[in-house]
């Protein structure tokens, strides 16, 4: 299975991507996670990306497209993958089509999580991530068992540097201007599946599974 998960910042893409990849045994390709890892490792690419990410701006297309192409071509992606946070503009969407053509594969569905701005802001400001393994929590909606500590690996939970009120506004603006138009692009290809992203995590996960299960019939 090959999927895209889309939605504004804070919609729950990462949360559901992790659940779906485990369920379907496919590879989670999160460009945001890849950049955060590169920044932690201090690679040259990571250092360039950081300047854009910290301000809430998009990382230049050539860098993003390069890392996605490399990843999709890896053998581990043969069984399928879920792209989370890519594509984010029309240039990236067109490049993705070329990459998929090169590999002789197609996207099965584009999952679009719909959430209103006021809820997004609450989600992003309450988001906490594990500094070790990247698992995502929310101080109210999805708290860890022990405050500040990751359930999965025991690492410390931190707030992402780009999850500030100022940066959130920039990211929402960029989403509306550059990323939202992609929904039409995928609707025209009959791939778009709109989902109510406001539902509780488990309920929404079940709805997505039902939808994807139905596609195989």
**Which among 66-74, 126-134, 181-189, 200-208 is the span making contact with Zn ion, rule CB under 5 A?**
126-134
At 85, give phi and psi (nearest 5°): 95, 5
Count the neighbouring beta carbons within 10 Å of the beta carbon of residue 213: 9
35 binds, among ligand ADP, Zn ion, none (CB under 5 to 8 A by kind): ligand ADP
138 binds, among ligand ADP, Zn ion, none (CB under 5 to 8 A by kind): ligand ADP
Site track for Zn ion across 134-173, x = CB under 5 A: -x--------------x-xx-x------------------
Q: Report, in Å, the least distance between residue 217 CB and ligand ADP.
A: 26
31 binds, among ligand ADP, Zn ion, none (CB under 5 to 8 A by kind): ligand ADP
Q: Considering the complex, state which of residue 67 and residue 150 has its C-beta at the smaller distance from Zn ion.
A: 150
- Residue 160 catalytic? yes
**Catalytic-role residue among 36, 50, 123, 171:** 171
Q: Considering the complex, state which of residue 132 and residue 180 has its C-beta at the smaller distance from Zn ion.
A: 132
- Residue 123 catalytic? no
Q: Considering the complex, state which of residue 13 and residue 71 has its C-beta at the smaller distance from ligand ADP.
A: 13
32 binds, among Zn ion, ligand ADP, none (CB under 5 to 8 A by kind): ligand ADP
Report the sign of the C-alpha dihedral through residues 74, 16, 157, 116, in that order: positive
Cα separations (Å) of 152 from 93, 156, 157? 34, 11, 11
Count the neighbouring beta carbons within 10 Å of the beta carbon of residue 178: 16
Strand boundaries in 43-105, DSSP class E: 81-84
- Residue 36 catalytic? no
Cα separations (Å) of 182 from 8, 110, 158? 12, 10, 31
Q: Report, in Å, the least distance between residue 143 CB and Zn ion.
A: 14
Q: How many Å apart are CA 81 and CA 87, to the nearest integer? A: 14
Count the neighbouring beta carbons within 10 Å of the beta carbon of residue 25: 9
State the DSSP code for 199. Answer: S
Catalytic positions, written as ranges: 13, 88, 127, 160, 171
């Amino acid at each position: 299975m090959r999927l895209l998960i889309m939605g504004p910042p804070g919609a729950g893409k990462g949360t559901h991507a992790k659940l779906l990849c485990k369920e379907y045994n496919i590879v989670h390709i999160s460009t945001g996670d890849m950049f955060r890892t590169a920044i932690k490792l201090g690679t040259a690419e990571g250092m360039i990306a950081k300047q854009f990410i910290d301000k809430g701006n998009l990382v230049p297309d050539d860098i993003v497209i390069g890392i996605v192409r490399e990843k999709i071509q890896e053998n581990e992606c043969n069984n399928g993958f879920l792209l989370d946070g890519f594509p984010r503009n029309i240039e990236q969407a067109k490049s993705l089509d070329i990459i998929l053509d090169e590999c002789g594969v197609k996207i099965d569905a584009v999952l679009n999580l719909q959430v209103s701005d006021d809820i997004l802001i609450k989600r992003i400001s309450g988001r906490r991530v594990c500094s070790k393994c990247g698992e995502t929590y929310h101080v109210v909606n999805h708290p860890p068992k022990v405050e500040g500590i990751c359930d999965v690996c025991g690492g410390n939970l931190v707030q992402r540097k780009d999850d500030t009120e100022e940066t959130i506004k920039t990211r929402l603006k960029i989403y509306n201007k550059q990323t939202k138009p992609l929904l039409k692009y995928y609707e025209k290809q009959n791939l778009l599946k709109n989902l109510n992203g406001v539902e509780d995590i488990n309920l929404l996960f079940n709805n997505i599974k039902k939808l994807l299960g139905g596609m195989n019939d």
